[in-house]
Amino acid sequence: MSMSNRTVVVTGAASGIGAACAAMLKAQGARVIGVDRNEPAAGTVDRFVQADLSDAASIDAAAGRIDSGVEALCNIAGLPPTKGRTPVLQVNFVGLRRFTEALLPKLADGAAIVNLGSLAGFGWQANSGEVRALLEVNRLEDVEAFCEKHAIDDARSYFLSKEALIVWTMQMRWQWRARAIRMNAVSPGPVETPIHQDFLQTLGERAAEDMRLMERAGRPGDIAPLVTFLCGDESRWIQGANIPCDGGMAAHLLCQSIGLG
């Protein structure tokens, strides 16, 4: 697969899965625009645009600095639950959605959007009420009031952010069909990134049990090939999908939920 001469925007490009995606896309010939609060290492992206996805003005300014003709957007940036409920929901969902919508006029017809979900979003069906409520929050400054109203704590905020992101991805399956723009999500399980320890700290024994079941934790390089594939023409018939990339954990949970072991 070649991404030769295609312009791809990658948020969270300075570290972890975002950095791995940027590197693989560049290796396939893409021109990568990295969007992050922190500047990526020299040579890892073709252009850096600084942005804070918890700040509306910063999001809009960043989108304004990106030229038209973007052929793929990879929404990889995210915060762990240790960063607090309001920033987590702002960056992981409400700000991500605002950035995507702000960038839509800059996307080429036929462009791909890839969102980084999570195994944490696996149980969205059981929490559809909270998910629906978050989907209705359009302003970043309203997130704290939402958390208060629905008693969302720090740990829950991360799960909810990924549940909402997965549902929004499915909702948008045909939203931009007239322009042949498609959106999909990739949902990793535990991945060894700079924020991996934050998850272990928050989830405690639950995370420890997951790690005992798995052969190993994932690595950013395990996720990047799937993200890259979803950016390319070979995946153009995949729309509104949430694809697990988790060493089998989603399959394990689903089998357990219906008593198949």
Element holding 25 (H helix, E strand): helix 16-27
Roughly how many angstroms between the first and final C-alpha of the chain, as a whole number?
37
Which residue among the candidates 122, 158, 199, 229 is catalytic per the annotation? Answer: 158
Is 201 part of the annotated catalytic residue set?
no
User: CA-CA distances (angstroms) from residue 146 to 124, 131, 151?
Assistant: 18, 11, 8
Q: 72-104: string of b/e by CB count within 10 Å (b at 16+)?
A: bbbbbbbbbbebbbbbbbbbbbbbbbbbbebbb
Which residues face 36 on adjacent strands?
Answer: 50
How far, in Å, CA of 219 to CA of 231, rounded? Answer: 20
Is residue 137 within 8 A of residue 143, CB to CB? The reply is yes
How far, in Å, CA of 139 to CA of 78, rounded? Answer: 18
Q: Enumerate the active-site residues.
A: 158
